[in-house]
C-alpha cells in the first residue's frame, strides 16, 4: 500500500525550482488543488505547507504569495490569520503581482 506522503509526492513535478509555481496535478476544486489525506479531502496547498514547513496554527489560513491558487510550492505559501489574508487580497486588487515569463 502506498503511503499518503508518497501519493502526495506524485501529484506535482518535483524538478521545479523554488521560484517556480508547482501546479497541482491532482484533483482541482474551485481552482484549488484537493487531496485525500486518508481520512478526508483537504486543500493540497495546506497539505503541502504542513508536509514541508510544519503544522498550521489553529485558525490560520495558508495564503498564496504568488496568487496562483493551484500552486503548492511551500516557498509561495504563508500561514497567516484570516484577517491578514483578507487585507492582502484587498491590496492585491490594487497592486497585482504577476509572474513574469522567464
**Using CA atoms, how far apart are residues 12 and 76, in angstroms rounded to an integer?**
15
Q: Is 66 in the site for Zn ion (CB under 5 A)?
A: yes
Answer yes or no whether residue 73 interacts with Zn ion by CB under 5 A: yes
Which of 8, 11, 21, 47 forms a contact with Zn ion (CB under 5 A)?
21
| Site for Zn ion contains 46 (CB under 5 A) | no
Integer angstrom CA distances of residue 2 from 43, 50, 54, 62: 20, 19, 22, 27
Q: Is 68 in the site for Zn ion (CB under 5 A)?
A: yes
- List interacting residues with Zn ion (CB under 5 A): 21, 66, 68, 71, 73, 76
Amino acid at each position: 500500500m502506498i503511503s499518503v506522503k508518497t501519493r502526495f509526492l506524485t501529484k506535482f513535478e518535483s524538478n521545479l525550482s523554488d521560484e517556480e509555481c508547482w501546479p497541482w496535478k491532482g484533483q482541482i476544486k474551485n481552482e484549488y488543488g484537493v487531496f485525500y489525506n486518508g481520512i478526508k479531502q483537504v486543500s493540497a496547498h495546506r497539505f503541502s505547507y504542513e508536509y514541508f514547513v510544519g503544522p498550521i496554527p489553529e485558525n490560520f489560513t495558508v495564503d498564496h504569495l504568488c496568487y496562483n491558487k493551484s500552486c503548492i510550492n511551500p516557498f509561495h505559501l504563508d500561514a497567516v490569520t484570516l484577517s491578514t489574508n483578507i487585507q492582502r487580497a484587498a491590496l492585491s486588487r490594487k497592486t497585482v503581482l504577476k509572474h513574469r515569463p522567464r
